[in-house]
Amino acid sequence: MYTFKHSALPPIDNAIKGEIAEINFNVSNLLLKFQGHYRALSELRETLNDLLDSCELNLQCIRIVPDGDEDEGAPRAIGFADLPTVEKHVVISTAITSTVAIKILAEVLDCDFEDAAFQVRTIGQAEFGSMSPEQIEQAITRLSEILRNKPDTSGFFIDI
C-alpha cells in the first residue's frame, strides 16, 4: 500500500508520457490492422482488459490523503464501484435478469411482484440453503477467475 499526500503526488514526467503515447499509437495501429478480424480483435480486447484490471488493482494500492490535517480519517471502504468492468456488468446483468424473471413469474402466477419475489426467495432458500461468508468468497473467486479467463463464454451479459 502506498500513501501520498495530495500535494506530494509524483508528477508524470515526459518519459512516462512518451511511453503512454507509444502504447496508444501501437494499440491504434493494431485496431486498424485487425479491423474486421474477429479473433484478433477478441484476443486484443482480452489482453487490454487484463492489463486494465492490473492497472486498476495497482491504483487501489495507492491511497491519497488530503493535505494539511494530520487526522487522515478512515480509508473509504471498497464497494461495487471499485469492481472491474466485467464484474460490474455481471452484477447489473444479473439484477436485470432476475427482475425480469420475477415480473414474468408474477404474470404467470397472477400475483404482484413482491409475492413472486417472496416465492423465489423461499424456493431458493429451500433448494440451496444459506451460504457462509467463506462459501460466498469461494464462489465469487471462482466466478472472477472464470470471467477473466473466458469473459465471452462464461457469463450472461445484457447489452446496456
DSSP labels for 7-26? GGPPPPPHHHHHHHHHHHHH
Domain count of the fold of the chain: 2
Residues 92 and 53 occupy one common structural domain: no
Residues 86 and 142 occupy one common structural domain: yes
Work out the pLDDT band at 154, boundaries 50, 70, 90: low
Q: What is the amino acid identity at position 53?
A: D
Q: What is the rounded CA–CA span in Å between residue 15 and residue 21?
A: 10
- For residues 116 and 106, the answer to whether their CB atoms sit within 8 Å is yes
All three cell numbers of 151: 469473459
Q: What is the rounded CA–CA span in Å between residue 105 and residue 7?
A: 56
Q: Average pLDDT, whole number, for the chain?
A: 83
Q: Is the residue at 102 inside a domain?
A: yes
Report the pLDDT value the prediction gives residue 76, as an integer from 0 to 100: 65
Work out the pLDDT band at 29, boundaries 50, 70, 90: very high
57-66, 69-78, 114-123, 144-153 — most confident range = 114-123
Q: Which of 35, 65, 95 is a domain's end point? A: 65
Residues 84 and 145 occupy one common structural domain: yes
Q: Which of 11, 38, 65 is a domain's end point? A: 65
Residues 87 and 119 occupy one common structural domain: yes
Q: Is the residue at 50 inside a domain?
A: yes
Residues 143 and 86 occupy one common structural domain: yes
Residues 85 and 136 occupy one common structural domain: yes
Interval 67-110: pLDDT, tens: 765 555 556 667 777 777 777 777 888 888 888 999 999 999 99
Report the pLDDT value the prediction gives residue 82, as an integer from 0 to 100: 78
Q: Is the residue at 91 inside a domain?
A: yes
> What residues make up the domain containing 96?
80-149
